[in-house]
Chains A and B, each alone.
Chain A
Amino acid sequence: KNQVEQSPQSLIILEGKNCTLQCNYTVSPFSNLRWYKQDTGRGPVSLTIMTFSENTKSNGRYTATLDADTKQSSLHITASQLSDSASYICVVSPSWGGGYNKLIFGAGTRLAVHP
């Protein structure tokens, strides 16, 4: 079973609309949870990083929330733009193992924004 699961697998929305992507994880304990944006054919780019004690973090039109009790995170995109079309990946950094950042990635949600 994947330690980081995302839903939906894919999503189509109209330009200007809002959307929310979900992430459920079982990694425990963890240092931080991140959301990355990955454009087709490019490497992932960090959007937000939240420690286990943070509930929310914003980056422009992107707002991530974290509920460590239920092990859930969400990424809310406001007033979507065509350039938001990408895969959005939830990533958890476990506290255990080596003292370095052995990230665990979800499979991503593929978002398509249509005009």
Chain B
Amino acid sequence: GAGVSQSPRYKVAKRGQDVALRCDPISGHVSLFWYQQALGQGPEFLTYFQNEAQLDKSGLPSDRFFAERPEGSVSTLKIQRTQQEDSAVYLCASSPGLAGGRWGELFFGEGSRLTVL
């Protein structure tokens, strides 16, 4: 596709359920980021992949959060045993360069809105 695609766009989960959010980056983009955006706030960094390697997961809020990008393209963010505080929009972004867009562009998807009841 032409842009970064995320699915599902909306997800409602009961507290304690596991969820999986998918990101399909722009074809050929090396760098992939996940961000969490709470209502009325700016996005906050979760994790960064360079190809299939997860180089930084320092932003993941707990060990219930897990991300993977096994073949260096599609990425999945998994949240286990969801809690109400996990409710947020999860944004995926990709960039063509190894530096993760340090001097260039990051392209964002439209996000997956997770609501935990």
- A contact set with B: CB distance below 8 Å: 4, 31-32, 41-46, 49, 51, 89, 91, 93, 98-108
With an 8 Å Cβ cutoff, the count of chain B residues facing the other chain is 30
Majority SS at the chain B contact face: loop
A43→B4 contact, CB < 8 A: yes
B108 within 8 A of A: yes
A43→B110 contact, CB < 8 A: yes
A101→B44 contact, CB < 8 A: no
CA distance in complex: A107, B45 (Å): 13
Contact sample, A vs B, 21 pairs, CB 8 Å cutoff: A4-B42, A31-B102, A41-B110, A43-B4, A43-B91, A45-B108, A51-B103, A89-B42, A98-B48, A100-B31, A100-B99, A101-B95, A101-B99, A101-B101, A103-B43, A103-B45, A105-B43, A105-B44, A107-B42, A108-B41, A108-B42
If A100-B99, A100-B100, A101-B102 touch, does A44 touch B108 (CB 8 Å cutoff)? yes
Q: Chain B residue with minimal CB distance to A41?
A: B110
B106 within 8 A of A: yes
If A43-B4, A106-B42 touch, does A99 touch B102 (CB 8 Å cutoff)? yes
